[in-house]
Amino acid sequence: MSKFWSPKVRELTPYVPGEQPRERLIKLNTNENPYPPAPGVEAALREFPVDHLRRYPDPESRALREAIAREVGVEPEQVFVGNGSDEVLALAFQAFFCHDRPLEMPDITYSFYPVYCRLYGVMRHALPLDEQWRVDLEAFAKESGGVVFANPNAPTGHGHERQAIATLLSRVTDSVVLIDEAYADFGGESAIPLVSDHPNLLVTGTFSKSRSLAGLRLGYAVGSRELIEGLERVKDSFNSYPIDSLASAVGIAALADHDHFEACREAVITTRERTRGRLEELGFRVLPSRTNFLLVHHPDIDAAQLFVGLRERGILVRHFNTDALRDYLRISIGTEDEMDSLVEALEPLCT
């Protein structure tokens, strides 16, 4: 540790992203989309007027917010945009959860949430999943410093229906309920239609997964105007221009191609369910998933051993070395050919 670091920095344990390998591997470890972005994205990149880059972008990202608003059925004033949903989430933790009451979240969910809590000094109350590894909505207290969870949940894959979220919101009314919908397009049911009736609901989303734009870094939040204004106040306190002009043009182009979006989404879902069956035939327990990944466990073979064995065979998956997930592998859904290679590599490891 450096003597120049502040005490807060010394105490941090940063989030560790999935490995981005330099060698050529079948990459099933970071939940990226196996299919390319919409054709309009390439056109937007090719036709973008380079001269525009000498000027600052629109600080309100109005055109992009309008495109997102049309897509999800809200007003532009109810939309906030940022550099990936991780940035949007970080701003939300600053805006809504830095106070004296603990923030409630599942004990197994997106591992960036505890990192934000440590960074911003947010008290955290972690609640266990239920016996079926689902987020237990009834466990969240009526009064707390807020609620945050992913729906569908990561890395477990289960997703609650909108009505279950509405029931939660009818009970938790005096603090912000933040629902991270990074994976909702792969079989989840979005809570965005509930925003109009629940001023404390904030829903975040990303272009990284279903829109195949993980390399662009583009995310958003949808909520009441008062919540969006809170996010804007935090954002404008350190960066008035979060979305660059090129990213905005690409995001708008991605939203415009509904046919490509639906085709890629359905392909991932179909491959996911086919892979589930094949893994179960090999003896794996596979948790139900509404995402573009599967969380799997083999009762007879160590998960770390499987992870190493797959890597030796040119396939990279995710192994979380934590007490709760040590026996599990998270496998991103790739193309049909990539998943065939996965199963073929697992066969000798499971016999």
pLDDT, tens digit (0-9, with 9 covering 90-100), for 91-147: 999 999 998 999 999 999 999 999 999 999 999 999 999 999 999 999 999 999 999
**Residue showing tokens 């306190």:** 237
Nearest one of 64, 88, 84 to 76, comparing CA atoms = 64
Q: List the structure tokens of 297.
A: 């466990």
Say whether 26 sits in a helix, a strand or coil: strand
Show which of 256, 277, 310 is a domain's final residue.
256
pLDDT 10s digits, 298-326: 999 999 999 999 999 999 999 998 999 99
Does position 201 have pLDDT exceeding 80, yes or no? yes
Q: Count of domains in the chain?
A: 2
Same domain, 338 and 282: yes
Same domain, 164 and 279: no
Same domain, 165 and 68: yes
Show which of 229, 256, 283 is a domain's final residue.
256
Q: How far from 66 is each of 121, 141, 222, 248, 266, CA to CA, in Å? A: 34, 35, 12, 11, 26
Residue 1 lies in a domain: no
How far is the C-alpha of 86 from the C-alpha of 103, rounded, in Å? Answer: 17
Same domain, 286 and 168: no
Q: How far from 290 is each of 216, 265, 296, CA to CA, in Å? A: 24, 11, 14
How far is the C-alpha of 16 from the C-alpha of 28, rounded, in Å? Answer: 16
Same domain, 75 and 207: yes
Residue 94 lies in a domain: yes
pLDDT of residue 8: 72
CATH number for the domain spanning 267: value is 3.90.1150.10
Same domain, 252 and 328: no
**Residue showing tokens 């940035």:** 87
Say whether 181 sits in a helix, a strand or coil: coil
Nearest one of 147, 107, 150, 131 to 325, comparing CA atoms = 107
Which structural domain, as residue segments, surrounds residue 203?
39-256
Residue 2 lies in a domain: no
Query: Which pTM was predicted?
Result: 0.94
Residue 218 backbone phi and psi in degrees, to 5: -145, 120
Same domain, 127 and 11: no
Show which of 256, 283, 299 is a domain's final residue.
256
CATH number for the domain spanning 196: value is 3.40.640.10
Does position 67 have pLDDT exceeding 90, yes or no? yes
**Residues of the chain with pLDDT > 70: what percent?**
96
Q: How far from 351 is each of 275, 284, 338, CA to CA, in Å? A: 18, 12, 21
